[in-house]
A and B are shown apart, each in its own frame.
Chain A
């Protein structure tokens, strides 16, 4: 039960990444980024067809699924996972979105800045433990 989670900014570069468990361990971390980046195209297509923020599974890679969630300001939250768990993943995205909005309220944080606050990382992992 391992996951790779990334928050992608408006310019398509990751602003936060977290590997939970040990996904795709043989191929290495770059493969996670590659898969998520490729999935971005699908996200871009699907996001205009629905007003929902949660886009469910947008892409599949071998036996891994990519789920996505798009915020109001076009920030994409993407999760690489191997088991289907729609409700858990939706709750996970909603909570992380709330966490993101709170970090955005910081006047010193600009949109698309990398998030390297250890407290943020800890909270994301706690949320992951709760729902995934």
Chain B
């Protein structure tokens, strides 16, 4: 498995954020831009990782697709599986993947006026592309959810489209 220099990546990512910042007017736009860049990465990563790790098997069930992202994708990107995968208790179609110390955020400091921003939007873009590609369209966003001991814990919130839930129900009943 190849290693990439962390500092090189940190530089590249910080430059990416700064470049995007020049062309947008606000936090939502900045997150959307990072999301788009991540989306392109995710499309390729999906095919590549499934081809390498899974032979010729696709994920047909929602939970399996999420588990694949939780373990395989995180391992390929960060060397370890994500810290947790949870299902929201209020909404049936929302899931959350959390990471206590997202590598991309480690070297980005966010000023107080932009405390809403979470540059994990890049990772959210990767996840969104992987879910979209496998047939589970969703809206994916990144949020900072501090928890005791981990002030920079990032949660990736995944909200699936209605037709995904309908199809899951239909397939589960059969």
Contacts and interface: CB of A to CB of B under 8 A. Distances in A.
Interface in A29-72: 47-54, 70-72
Given A51-B60, A53-B58, A98 B51 contact: yes
B57 A97 contact: no
Residues of B in contact with A, size category: 10 to 19
A71 B134 CA distance: 9
B44 interface: yes
Contacts of A49: 60, 171
Residues of A in contact with B, size category: 20 to 34
A72 B50 contact: yes
Interface in B121-142: 133-135
Contacts of B133: 10, 72-74, 111
A-side interface mostly: loop
Contacts of B46: 72-73
Contacts of A10: 133
A45 B50 CA distance: 21
B36 to A, nearest CB: 12
B57 A111 contact: no
B83 interface: no
A50 B51 CA distance: 17
B44 A72 contact: no
A111 to B, nearest CB: 5
Interface string A1-24: 000000000100000000000000
Contacts of B59: 51
A49 to B, nearest CB: 8
